[in-house]
Amino acid sequence: PEEYKEEDTPSSKYSWGQASKAWVQGFLQIKKQLSDLLFKEGIERIEVLGKEFDPNTMEAVDWTGPDPVQSEEENSGSPSSADSAESGVVVEEVQRGYTLHGKVIRPAKVKVTK
């Protein structure tokens, strides 16, 4: 349309970099407010990293351990750190888990050592 003027564009008021920063800051503030509200209502994150696997609060989506070929080679020499690693320990959180007033509403999806 002929009425459209260059000064009406958002870029004329501020740069797109500034707009992106403002959007990011706005979304981060909304996220913080939502997290605070959920915490006040009793929702808590299940902490899993470095802890022993608990099937009541966690779901194992992968089991990690030494490669069988490497294990045979390593067993001929001195014990490695992988051999001495504790079995059944969570090494990675794939998806966060949550509880509501102590009851699991979503188990944490984790990777566990063999």
Q: Are the CB atoms for 60 and 110 separated by under 8 Å?
A: yes
Residue 112 placed within a domain: yes
Same domain for 34 and 62, yes or no, is no
Q: Give one DSSP letter per residue of 24-61, joined into a string.
A: HHHHHHHHHHHHHHHHHTTEEEPP-TTSBP-TTTEEEE
Same domain for 26 and 75, yes or no, is no
- pTM higher than 0.75: no
Same domain for 35 and 56, yes or no, is no
Residues 17-33 have pLDDT tens digits of 677 888 889 999 999 99
Full domain range(s) for residue 22: 12-41
Residues 43-102 have pLDDT tens digits of 999 999 999 999 999 999 999 887 555 555 555 554 444 444 688 999 999 999 999 999
Residue 50 placed within a domain: yes
